[in-house]
Structure 1
Amino acid sequence: MTPHLQHPLYFVLGEHDDLFQKGGFFSSANPIKLKVPLSFFDSDQISFTYPDSMPSFNIPWMERGKPYLKPFHSQVFTKDEITEVVQTYGVPGDRWKVDEAWRYERFIEAQIWDVRPIEKFLQT
């Protein structure tokens, strides 16, 4: 991957309205939703972590994280690879609300490394 940005822009793959609810991560900001189809991105313009990057990379190193450890933690996936991961494990959805083993898998994070696909999408 050859990033076009020094730091990625962070998005969520699919829907995750909990981020926007009162008390959610973005509830005090003025976030917007932008639904850009994955087809706008080449494989070197986007990467993914399942779940979001912070728990994905922290769980394996935390003693209390061991019961929650999944095979996809601490990995960054390409567009093709995340498709395989979702086929195997499904999308996080609301499983975290009812299954303690999935408490950290709330959404899949997308890291955008090139703004040109977003600009192209906004022009359509």
Structure 2
Amino acid sequence: MFEYVTHYYNAIPFRSISALSRTEAMKVMRELCDDTPFFERFKEPIQYWDNRIEAETWLRNGFKEKGGVPKDNYPFYAVLGTGDWIENYALSEGLEVDFLRIPLSIFNEEDISFTLPDSMVSFWIGRDKPEEYYDPQYHGQVFMLSEVKSMMTADVMNNLASRIPQGSIPYVEAQIWNHKLVMNYYNSQKMNER
């Protein structure tokens, strides 16, 4: 059903706040913070940073427990298929958002994991189990490529918004744990454009 993941970025792909020191991250979050759904999460930078570190530790451990082999300390993020909400919002607000579609065929089982929805939201729902949203089949789970290929049916994807808290962006997040693999793919695409 899905042939690719989409990495959304602004100007430069494959940047992550997780690559920064805490001090550098605080500075970047203060600069980026605004009222858009993309950057309002940075309004409480200390809380966001602590939550992100906790969620990425959970992600990494969950990925390794299922046989994943993270080649890097933190993942690059993408969405399974297309993030229609992201693209429609950016278009409606006149925001510049670039994207790179990366074929799933370049990944091995050890390179990529998935969560429903965003990993920080999935981690929170799985941990706190709020009655109105929690579904143990999806939340608090780290999925492998083979699992996602079999479970992400059109019905699940078309009803993502009903499985997440209001205000969350409906998508299946992909976590890419092999930076070199996707950087090589990106560079080869740039070469082909010349």
State the TM-score, normalizing by the size of structure 1: 0.75
The alpha-carbon deviation at position 56 of structure 1 amounts to 1.0
Contact 1:91 1:108 in 2 (8 A): no
The alpha-carbon deviation at position 14 of structure 1 amounts to 0.9
| Higher helix fraction (1 or 2) | 2
Is 1:59–2:120 an aligned residue pair?
no
Q: Secondary structure of 2:78's match? A: strand
Structure 1: which 5+ runs fail to align? none
Is 1:14–2:81 an aligned residue pair?
yes
- Equivalence for 2:27: none
- The runs of at least 4 aligned residues of structure 1 exceeding 6 Å deviation read none
The alpha-carbon deviation at position 39 of structure 1 amounts to 0.3
The alpha-carbon deviation at position 17 of structure 1 amounts to 3.1
Contact 1:93 1:106 in 2 (8 A): no
- Equivalence for 1:115: 179
The alpha-carbon deviation at position 2 of structure 1 amounts to 1.7
Q: Secondary structure of 1:35's match? A: strand
Superposition pairs for residues 84-123 of structure 1, below 5 Å? Answer: 84-87=150-153, 90-93=155-158, 96=161, 101-104=162-165, 106-122=170-186, 123=188
Question: Which one has more relative contact order, counting CA pairs under 8 Å at least 6 apart?
Answer: 1
Alignment RMSD (CA, Å): 2.9
Closer, same or farther: CA 83–103 of 1 in aligned 2, 3 Å: same
Percent identical pairs in the alignment equals 30
The alpha-carbon deviation at position 92 of structure 1 amounts to 2.8
| Distance (Å, rounded) in 2 between the aligned partners of 1:103 and 1:76 | 16
The alpha-carbon deviation at position 58 of structure 1 amounts to 1.1
Count of residues paired in the alignment:
116
Is 1:4–2:71 an aligned residue pair?
yes
